[in-house]
Amino acid sequence: MLLLSSRAQHTTMTREEIGNGSEDMVIDECEPEGRERNSVPDEFNANYLKVYYGKLFPHADIFKWISYGNDGKHPACDQSYFSRREFSYTLDNDIYLRYQSFNSASELENSIKEKCPFKIDIGPVYSVDPAKRHAYAQTGDNVFTPVERELVFDIDITDYDDVRYCCSGADVCLDCWPLMTVAIKVIDTSLRDDFGFNHILWVFSGRRGVHCWVCDGKARRLTNEQRASIAEYFRVYKGNENSLKKVSFTGLALHPFLARSYSEVLKDFFKSKLLLSQKLFSTEERYEKILEMIPDESITSELRGKWQENKRSSISKEDTNVVRWQQLKHILQSGRPKAQGLRRCVEEIVFSFTYPRLDMEVSKHMNHLLKAPFCVHPKTGRVCVPIDPNCCEEFDPTAVPTLSKLLEEMNMGTLRADVDNEWDRTSLGKSIRFFRSSFLQPLLKSCKEEIENSYNAKLQHSKNSMSW
């Protein structure tokens, strides 16, 4: 049984002690009054990672995913595939280890358990084993190069600081998190419908954003130029904090992808959620930011006059934000002579506040590292769990399991004998089951078919050659 007390947060262990310790870390001390037995302090503690990596982290599932069917069980498997994948570790005190590589699932698992990294990043598959790159470099040939990598996207709530007023920086709450939900819906739909990708994994970053892994074979083999083209396809937000105009549309009508995103997701979200949760028109400072996006001084003066007069004289039962948004839309979409050419402004305002803001460089380059799913964020203690894009609006970042909560659940759940895995005793079980059933199993089935088809094609080609 695992016993962890509040003294755990004051316990310091050397790396040798952590590395040599048993998987069951027993810290049996007197607990302060008022705390339940088996409770674990909320603060992130590096010592808890030993238990997490030993009991809960899904090592085998990560290996199966990253191997893409190249597990040595089929003659067409690429035996060197997994060993050419880069892993990087961030250890305590910001010690950074790059170009880690492993030959098997057990090697990967043993390394993680031994080093207990604060963060695990996954890089590309290289042409040669990244751990042996120096040996190849001495040959004079530039053979060490990335050859395969998932198409990845990184979306961070801090990039929305100019359109959210509830939080800023790394802070996030249930009022601004829906911006991430919108990003998932827009990007996921397009990846599937416009590009034909099927095996897409969305993951909570552990604190303030989301990561997307597109794992189809054709996505993994994209060149840097092709990745950049896809990233540019999604790029609409082109402003910065000093720009009056945050988005840039070309042509007389919205691109079909943008028109669909606007009508199916963005428009309703802006009106029913963001407008009210962020109170976008509630103060002069806030509505001036929106008026600056309208390039017609006569219209902005008219709206400004209405809102300042309304502030002095009217006591309306309707929400101020809703009323002012309706007034702005009415003028811009009225067809009045001075509003001609400004109908697009309504769409531009909505896109400026709601459209996904991608870290473009992450998606453009094959050699970019991205945090592995099921890591634990050291600042929040929360696990980087997968997000189901089909019901992402139900995802609550404040309810994601923390390291301390998981250890507490393990303590409380030791009497259950009806589970096969330690994680099934905890709230992490739901996330691992989703990862397996909704993402990993369909992916591996597709990989097996791809390997089989490739193998059969080579056999057929060989037979045809021999017949000649």
Annotated catalytic residue: which of 71, 109, 154, 347?
A: 154
Neighbour-count burial of 327, counting CB atoms closer than 10 A to its CB (0-12 exposed, 13-18 middle, 19+ buried): middle
CB-based contact 150:215 (threshold 8 Å)? yes
Nearest-angstrom CA–CA distance, 134 and 157: 38
- The answer to whether residue 175 is catalytic is no
The first and second tokens of residue 244, run together, are 């009056």
Neighbour-count burial of 405, counting CB atoms closer than 10 A to its CB (0-12 exposed, 13-18 middle, 19+ buried): buried
- The answer to whether residue 156 is catalytic is yes
Please give, one letter per residue, the 3-state secondary structure of the chain.
CCCCCHHHHHCCCCHHHHHHCCCCCCCCCCCCCCCCCCCCCCCCCHHHHHHHHHHHCCHHHHHHHHHCCCCCCCCCCCCCCHHHEEEEEEEHHHEEEEEECCCCHHHHHHHHHHHCCCEEEEEEEECCCHHHHHHHHCCCCCCCCEEECCEEEEEEHHHHCCCCCCCCCCCCCCCCCHHHHHHHHHHHHHHHHCCCCCCEEEEECCCCEEEEEECCHHHHCCCHHHHHHHHHHHCCECCCCCCCCCECCCCCCCCHHHHHHHHHHHHHHHHHHHHHHCCCCCCHHHHHHHHCCCCCHHHHHHHHHHHHHHHHHCCCCCCHHHHHHHHHHHHHCCCCHHHCCCCHHHHHHHHHHHCCCECHHHHHCCCCCEECCCCECCCCCEECCEECHHHHHHCCHHHCCEHHHHHHHHHHCCCCCCCCCHHHHCCCHHHHHHHHHHHHHHHHHHHHHHHHHHHHHHHHHHHHHHHC
Provide the angle, in degrees to the nearest 10, between the axes of the packed helices 224-234 and 178-193: 120
- The answer to whether residue 424 is catalytic is no
Nearest-angstrom CA–CA distance, 247 and 244: 9
The first and second tokens of residue 212, run together, are 């997307």
Provide the angle, in degrees to the nearest 10, between the axes of the packed helices 59-67 and 105-115: 130
Annotated catalytic residue: which of 71, 121, 156, 188?
A: 156
Annotated catalytic residue: which of 71, 86, 129, 150?
A: 86
Residues catalogued as catalytic: 86, 154, 156
